[in-house]
Structure 1
Amino acid sequence: MADLKAAFEAAVANSKTLAERPDNATLLKIYALYKQATTGDNAEKKPGFGDLVGRAKWDAWNAVKGTPAEAAMQQYVDLIESLR
């Protein structure tokens, strides 16, 4: 677990220095996995129709609901590594 946490923290740092900006779908996946790994299941109220960005983020995070934190961390690390 300590190794995974260190790899996750390194991936978070690496996500800020990617050579090129990922597409929006990939950015939403990165966001969702980060939130699932650090916060857990989405328990927030769904944003209204006027907040398109907030709604997209909420939907992406809600899509990974039930994923254990360790699995979300590993998926996040794998995704960032694939983008480098």
Structure 2
Amino acid sequence: MELQAQFEKAAADSKNLSSKPDNETLLQLYSLYKQGTEGDVNTEAPSNPFDFVSKAKYEAWLALKGKAKATAMEEYVALVEKLKA
């Protein structure tokens, strides 16, 4: 199966995990997904200092700056497979 198809399947599978991952893992999933689909951060940082969720998501994605889309997709697929086990 090609990487794009594996990635899309993993994205669908991530919605049906037997248990909800912890917040750190959710951030990792989010940032790898965004990096795999959009590449480097292309938005401004959240302006509301009290929007902790958006800030955490933004910072997690920003931390992956420079990572190739294909690499992010591979890591996302591997993480979802690990969570399904």
| Same fold (TM > 0.5) | yes
Structure 2 counterparts to residues 13-52 of structure 1, below 5 A: 13-48=12-47, 49-52=49-52
The percentage of aligned residue pairs carrying the same residue is 48
How many positions carry a matched residue from both structures? 83
User: Is 1:53 equivalent to 2:53 in the alignment?
Assistant: yes
1:34 Cα deviation (Å)? 0.3
Moved more, 43-52 or 56-65: 43-52
* Dislocated runs of 4+, deviation >4 Å: none
1:36 Cα deviation (Å)? 0.3
**Gapped runs of 5+ residues in structure 1?**
none
* TM-score of the pair, normalised by structure 2: 0.94
Counterpart residue number, 2:81: 81
Q: Tell me the secondary structure at the aligned position of residue 50 of structure 1.
A: coil
1:15 Cα deviation (Å)? 0.2
1:7 Cα deviation (Å)? 0.5
Counterpart residue number, 1:69: 69
Q: Distance in 2 between the 1:58 and 1:42 partners? A: 8
